[in-house]
Amino acid sequence: MTISNDPSAPLVVITGITGLQGGSVTRALAESDKPYRIRGLTRDPSKPTAQAFAGQGVQIVGVSLAADNVAGVTKAFQGADILFLVTNWNEHMDKQREISEGKMMVDVAKEAGVKLLIWSGLESLSAVSGGKFPRVEFFDAKGDITEYAKQSGVPLALVEAGYYATNIFEAPYALRKQPDGSYVFGLPVPATTSVPVIDVAHDYGLYVRAAIEDPALGAGSELYSGILISFGEMITTLSEVSGKKITYVQMSREEAVAMPEYYGPMLADMFQAFEVHGYYGPKPTTRTDLLVRQPRSWADFLEAAALEDLLP
């Protein structure tokens, strides 16, 4: 890892540095032959992940990215040439909060005069589906923030994150162990439904690095990450690599909607929007030729993973 402290090197401020996306962006820039100063933001600078980056020359700054902390965020973004922005839906699952925090950070980035704001947005699935799938709040919130950032006039590059490979193992409603030790995997869509899968910790940063370094990208560019693969192919490959019997059995929409409260209808809408319109809607999927190395395929991810932990 080489991270510069030369004042002539661009200062990249990275939100969520202790997380999957921010950590991946930091590693990808540290691996570059171009020098960057890096400032990473976290609420808790004492976290081991933050401290590990500090040991590699990252300036770690403690700040809460809450919408009412404009003063703290202004200070944290001060001097940034480039800002990587990710919002964290998972922690609060509140659409209005995600939108407020995202818009506030766009405003502060613009005020700070950043030369490039890289935003980890997603498509509004409500908009993509013409209102047919209106409940996928973490996609819609990010779509609203994208529109706001575009309207603001801030120099913007959109780098959307694909479907995390780890999601397959983090959905107890979908992956169910059977009494005989085999598994059934089911979502409320046919096995032929495809998503752009990404090993986010390993590869997301490559796309952000391309948005910064490729002269054809930069402000005004949009990158869609991941490699398209169907859920059926994923399960077949998982079965082959793990040596375990795993069968894709489609869940009905009724079963999906009946999942706990709010989550079921939202996930039902999300997967059905993927089936009908695609994860990125009509937008093109990834162009891996723009990256400095090839991202991991689903099979590569499985080969590198500790499957005994993922499939206990």
Ligand X SMILES: NC(=O)c1ccc[n+]([C@@H]2O[C@H](COP(=O)([O-])OP(=O)(O)OC[C@H]3O[C@@H](n4cnc5c(N)ncnc54)[C@H](OP(=O)(O)O)[C@@H]3O)[C@@H](O)[C@H]2O)c1
| Strand ordering across the sheet containing 163-164 | 163-164, 194-198, 227-230
Question: Which of 16, 143, 186, 188 is close enough to bind ligand X by CB under 6 A?
Answer: 16
Indicate whether 42 belongs to the interface with ligand X (CB under 6 A): yes
264 binds ligand X (CB under 6 A): no
Which of 13, 14, 22, 84: binder of ligand X (CB under 6 A)?
22
Task: Determine which residue in the list 33, 91, 308, 309 makes contact with ligand X, applying CB under 6 A.
Answer: 91
**Per CB under 6 A, 89 contacts ligand X:** yes
Residue nearer to ligand X on the CB measure, 148 or 180: 148
Closer to ligand X by CB, 16 or 218: give it: 16
105 binds ligand X (CB under 6 A): no
Tell me which residues in 134-173 interact with ligand X (CB under 6 A): 138, 161, 163-164, 167
User: Is position 298 an interface residue for ligand X (rule: CB under 6 A)?
Assistant: no
- Identify which of residues 91 and 289 has a Cβ nearer to ligand X in the complex: 91
Which residue has its beta carbon closest to ligand X? Answer: 19
Among 4, 32, 64, 297, binds ligand X (CB under 6 A): 64
Question: Considering only residues 14, 19, 37, 137, which one is a binding residue for ligand X as defined by CB under 6 A?
Answer: 19
- Candidates 47, 97, 177, 253; binder of ligand X (CB under 6 A) is 47
Least distance in Å: CB of 245 to ligand X? Answer: 26
Q: Does 90 bind ligand X (CB under 6 A)?
A: yes
Question: Which residues contact ligand X (rule: CB under 6 A)?
Answer: 16-22, 41-44, 47, 64-66, 86-91, 122, 138, 161, 163-164, 167
